[in-house]
Amino acid sequence: MQVTMTVNDTEVTREIEGRLLLVHFLRDVLSLTGTHWGCDTSNCGTCVVWMDGEPVKSCTVLAAMADGHEVRTVEGLAQNGELDPIQQGFMQCHGLQCGFCTPGMMMTCRALLDKNPDPTDAEIREAISGQICRCTGYSTIVRSVRWAAVHEAAAAQQEVTA
């Protein structure tokens, strides 16, 4: 079957098997290997991408289900070569170690900040609770999201004053 979707602002059309998972479509067909495959059962969240702006676990979404939709992956987080504050936050606050869960974590955290620009620690923990990180113990991920929130707020404030 043929699918057409927009991935990171670019429209792509491919001939695929109907059973192909979105995670494998992104990784093996489009070579967007930033999205990872970790468990098959929707437990680990290394495969989180956005479909129409909502985080989804791409190991349990068929590529066919993304037909006609907008998909965004970690490769589409930075804009015009400038890292998203969430990416900067993860680097500044040691929110990653092996980097395997990081793309999925960042996609979820970016979506959280889009809805709730000033989340509490508890709200951040709730937002990432469907994902597993084996390295960081989560405290530094919470700090990373807070870093992004504080810096975005400060940047917005600066724009207003300017």
Partner 1 sequence: MTTVQDPKFTEFHDNDQKPVGFGRMLRKEDPRFVRGRGRYTDDIQLPGMLHLAILRSPFAHARVLSVDTSAAEASPGVRLVVTGAMLAEKGLAWMPTLSNDVQAVLATDKVRFQGQEVAFVVADDRYAARDALELIEVDYDVLEPVIDARRALEPDAPLIRDDLQGKENNHVFDWETGDEAATEAVFASADVVVQEDIVYPRVHPAPMETCGAVADFDAVEGKLRLWSTTQAPHAHRTLYAIVSGIPEHKIQVISPDLGGGFGNKVPIYPGYVCAIVGSILTGKPVKWMEDRSENLISTGFARDYIMRGEIAATRDGRILAIRTNVLADHGAFNGTAAPVKYPAGFFGVFTGSYDLQAAYCKMTAVYTNKAPGGVAYACSFRITEAVYLVERIVDCLAHELDMDPAELRLKNFIQPDQFPYETKTGWVYDSGNYEPTMRLAMDMAGYADLRKEQEEKRARGELMGIGISFFTEAVGAGPRKNMDILGLGMADGCELRVHPTGKAVVRLSVQTQGQGHETTFAQIVAEEIGIPPADIEVVHGDTDQTPFGLGTYGSRSTPVSGAAAALVARKVRDKAQIIASGMLEVSVADLEWVKGSFQVKGDPGKSVTIQDIAFRAHGAGDLPEGVEGGLEAQICYNPSNLTYPHGAYICVVDIDPGTAQVKVRRFVAVDDCGTRINPMIIEGQIHGGLTDGVGMALMEMIAFDEDGNCLGASLMDYLIPTSLEVPDWETGYTVTPSPHHPIGAKGVGESATVGSPPAIVNAVVDALKPFGVRHADMPLTPSRVWDAMRGRATPPI
Contact by Cβ (8 Å): 72, 29: no
- Quick check: 58 binds partner 1 (CB under 8 A)? no
Is residue 134 part of the contact set for partner 1 (CB under 8 A)? yes
The minimum distance between CB 15 and partner 1, in angstroms, equals 13
Among 34, 55, 71, 109, binds partner 1 (CB under 8 A): 34
Closest CA to 119 of 95, 152, 88: 152
Min. distance of Cβ 12 from partner 1 in angstroms? 17
Tell whether residue 145 is a contact of partner 1 (CB under 8 A): no
Contact 106, 87 (CB under 8 A): yes
As a whole number of angstroms, the distance between CA 71 and CA 138 comes to 26
Q: Within 71-90, which residues bind partner 1 (CB under 8 A)?
A: 73-75, 77-78, 82-83, 85, 87-88, 90
- If one asks whether residue 136 binds partner 1 (CB under 8 A), the answer comes out as yes
Pick one of 48, 55, 112, 131: the residue that binds partner 1 (CB under 8 A).
131
> Coil, strand or helix: which one is 141?
helix
SS (H, E, C) 71-91: EECHHHCCECCECCHHHHHHH
